Chains A and B, each alone.
Chain A
């Protein structure tokens, strides 16, 4: 097989994998958007916050130690214990649920019935808040994230040798597929299936979609917006944690993690803001698209095209299908 073609296949596969990681972030957006019409810009920061909390709990860090030290002049940093990954994850989920509740109680409850742009702005405010809050709570230095069941059964990372070998035997060139990406894919598949079932076939799922359509009407039939929103924000918080773990394992847990939100936006546009499967398909298309573009065209224009290519791709797509691939058709009537 010609070399270029094999390379292209490798790039393609890696694009798919990257796409899954984007989709993981996009999923959180979709959930909240579906349930409240809120375009939650804070999703990325939530992932950061979740990951930082996870690491903080794992390592037994004292929350707000910097602040406490600065104000009281003390020198506390660690409790001196270590928490098992699974327990830490559970505790973090608890924190995310608490966050969902707080967000609902202090922010969105007071904004019922406002225009979408206002809600959107509120989430940007929330993003800033959380970003500063996370740093205050856990400190802004880089943290390494190791999620391990036992001392040597951690999240796998690095080249998958089986695939490398198999492809080497077929094509004479071993493909690079990252183990972490494979894990992410499996997790994503489970997550998406669960979410689709939840939103389409359960009472709460239906209520969630109802709330998205019309807050007032939902209130009037006795759906408690507060409850639905806490529910969805919790689920979105959980999704953020998953995304945070996957991305955190890749690049360490630090500020830039929150910027993955920007990677998820074109995915959303393409897949449609309201579609859970759309997030996955959109993610895959974007992942493959940008990696292939960087591979084929990148060298001609000097590279680093990934940042904008995803957006331009999504833009072009949208011109033909303004509601995204799977988005609900925009009902336009007068």
Chain B
């Protein structure tokens, strides 16, 4: 009985509503936070930041956003790449047109703008459902990418059509541009991640979350019960868009620094984020993180093992990587269709009963 919840009684509904009602979990959470804020910044270097931490944090935000839409509200979207692009381009336009405003707000506003765009593309969800909707969101994906590629205003008429993040600072410390320090970019993203996670958690445990889940589980019944499907779906698209936009903005400004829209925000991105939430667990905040971590780490690990240790040719490793990622996705789905989050829950359940099997 490693993991206990017995003896952990609640005396008020407020404590029962907590994010981590179980003491054990709460402790774990505080430890993670402490390490993230107080330890990692001091030991992180460029490689770790760029190969692992930044992508992990940024994808985690996108995954949170998509999970709200897909996992909680049941509206499958394949437009994530396009929406991230909106965030990125919004951020670029803001950074270049209002250099005096702090980048922090640029990122937030980019999220807001993306939320709006997302809502527009979410409107058809009122009529179109299931896979039809999933495919329909590809319209957003392709259209947005085309738009940003085509309209020079978005890339400030640069000859190549690429956008480059100029240097911007927070408290005098650069967080974008070439002269950044690993710890600064890391902390900058971390703050967004933590805030996003809290917001997502709050929304999903309250009425908004219930409405989304109701729509997801049975939209007709939900409407008859009194859920306004328009509002519920639209709010899910908006919130999801906000997160995805923030992540797109960070992805461009902090992580890549320069972006070519079709490359960075193509359909592969949409799938990648979708994978994250499926592998992590649909309808789970923890799952969004787990999925992002898994899919960021996996290729890095495979590469280190294949190329650096075994010394195999890069192409064979790259092909093997596809095989392994594909195989793992299938394996995961077979073992636990509800993702890493569910695996974690079951493990906890088993630990709770341990050493008894049932």
A and B touch in the complex (CB under 8 A): yes
Please measure, in the bound complex, the distance between the C-alpha atom of A265 and the C-alpha atom of B134, giving whole angstroms: 10
Given A114-B337, A304-B146, A130 and B326 touching (CB < 8 A)? Answer: yes
Q: Does B128 contact A (CB under 8 A)?
A: yes
Q: How many A-B residue pairs have CB under 8 A?
A: 150
Given A121-B275, A121-B278, A135 and B333 touching (CB < 8 A)? Answer: no
Minimum CB–CB distance for B39 against chain A, Å: 35
With both beta carbons as reference points, the residue of chain B lying nearest to A113 in the complex is identified as: B337
Q: Does B358 contact A (CB under 8 A)?
A: no
Given A117-B282, A262-B267, A314 and B136 touching (CB < 8 A)? Answer: yes
Given A314-B136, A318-B127, A334-B221, A121 and B143 touching (CB < 8 A)? Answer: no
Minimum CB–CB distance for B26 against chain A, Å: 32
With both beta carbons as reference points, the residue of chain A lying nearest to B78 in the complex is identified as: A265
Q: Does B357 contact A (CB under 8 A)?
A: no
Tell me whether A334 and B224 are in contact (CB under 8 A). yes
Given A121-B278, A308-B143, A318-B128, A129 and B327 touching (CB < 8 A)? Answer: yes
Q: Does A273 contact B (CB under 8 A)?
A: yes
Task: Give per-residue flags for A294-334: 1 if the beta carbon is below 8 A from chain B beta carbons, else 0.
Answer: 00000001101101100110110011001110000010101
B-side contacts of A71, CB under 8 Å: 312
Q: Does A60 contact B (CB under 8 A)?
A: no
Minimum CB–CB distance for B16 against chain A, Å: 30
Q: Does B178 contact A (CB under 8 A)?
A: no
Tell me whether A107 and B329 are in contact (CB under 8 A). no
Chain B CB within 10 Å, residue with most, of A140, A305, A315, A330: A315
A residues 121-174 near B (Cβ < 8 Å) are: 121-122, 124-133, 135-136, 140
Q: Does A118 contact B (CB under 8 A)?
A: yes
B residues 290-334 near A (Cβ < 8 Å) are: 312-313, 315-316, 318-330, 333-334
B-side contacts of A110, CB under 8 Å: 334
Tell me whether A330 and B143 are in contact (CB under 8 A). no
Q: Does A230 contact B (CB under 8 A)?
A: no
Given A117-B76, A120-B131, A140-B319, A111 and B333 touching (CB < 8 A)? Answer: yes
A-side contacts of B337, CB under 8 Å: 111, 114-115, 118
Q: Does A15 contact B (CB under 8 A)?
A: no
Size of interface on A: residues with Cβ below 8 Å to B: 54
B-side contacts of A5, CB under 8 Å: none
Tell me whether B316 and A308 are in contact (CB under 8 A). no
Please measure, in the bound complex, the distance between the C-alpha atom of A106 and the C-alpha atom of B331, giving whole angstroms: 9
A-side contacts of B316, CB under 8 Å: 66-67, 70, 136
Tell me whether B129 and A311 are in contact (CB under 8 A). no
Question: Of A121, A136, A265, A322, which one neighbours B135 at CB under 8 angstroms?
Answer: A265
Tell me whether A269 and B136 are in contact (CB under 8 A). yes
Given A111-B337, A117-B282, A122 and B138 touching (CB < 8 A)? Answer: no
Tell me whether A125 and B76 are in contact (CB under 8 A). no
Q: Does A94 contact B (CB under 8 A)?
A: no
Q: Does B34 contact A (CB under 8 A)?
A: no
B-side contacts of A70, CB under 8 Å: 312-313, 316
With both beta carbons as reference points, the residue of chain B lying nearest to A305 in the complex is identified as: B146
Tell me whether B282 and A269 are in contact (CB under 8 A). no
Interface residues on chain B, size class? 35 or more
B-side contacts of A302, CB under 8 Å: 150
Q: Does B271 contact A (CB under 8 A)?
A: yes
Minimum CB–CB distance for B343 against chain A, Å: 15
Q: Does A237 contact B (CB under 8 A)?
A: no
Task: Give per-residue flags for B86-103: 1 if the beta carbon is below 8 A from chain A beta carbons, else 0.
Answer: 000000000000000000
Please measure, in the bound complex, the distance between the C-alpha atom of A273 and the C-alpha atom of B278, giving whole angstroms: 23
With both beta carbons as reference points, the residue of chain B lying nearest to A272 in the complex is identified as: B132
Tell me whether A307 and B128 are in contact (CB under 8 A). no
Tell me whether A324 and B136 are in contact (CB under 8 A). no
B-side contacts of A124, CB under 8 Å: 271, 274-275, 329
A-side contacts of B321, CB under 8 Å: 132
Task: Give per-residue flags for B7-18: 1 if the beta carbon is below 8 A from chain A beta carbons, else 0.
Answer: 000000000000
Task: Give per-residue flags for A252-269: 1 if the beta carbon is below 8 A from chain B beta carbons, else 0.
Answer: 000000000010011011
| B interface, CB within 8 angstroms of A | 70, 76, 124, 127-132, 134-136, 138-139, 141-143, 145-146, 149-150, 220-221, 224, 267, 271, 274-275, 278, 282, 312-313, 315-316, 318-330, 333-334, 337
Per CB-CB distance, the 10 closest pairs between chain A and chain B, nearest first, are: A132-B322, A129-B326, A125-B329, A128-B326, A311-B139, A308-B142, A132-B323, A308-B143, A125-B330, A110-B334
| A interface, CB within 8 angstroms of B | 39, 66-67, 70-71, 106-107, 110-111, 114-118, 120-122, 124-133, 135-136, 140, 262, 265-266, 268-269, 273, 301-302, 304-305, 307-308, 311-312, 314-315, 318-319, 322-324, 330, 332, 334
Given pairs A129-B326, A269-B135, 15 additional interface contacts (CB within 8 A): A114-B333, A114-B337, A117-B76, A121-B278, A122-B330, A124-B275, A131-B322, A135-B315, A140-B319, A266-B138, A268-B135, A273-B131, A302-B150, A304-B149, A311-B138
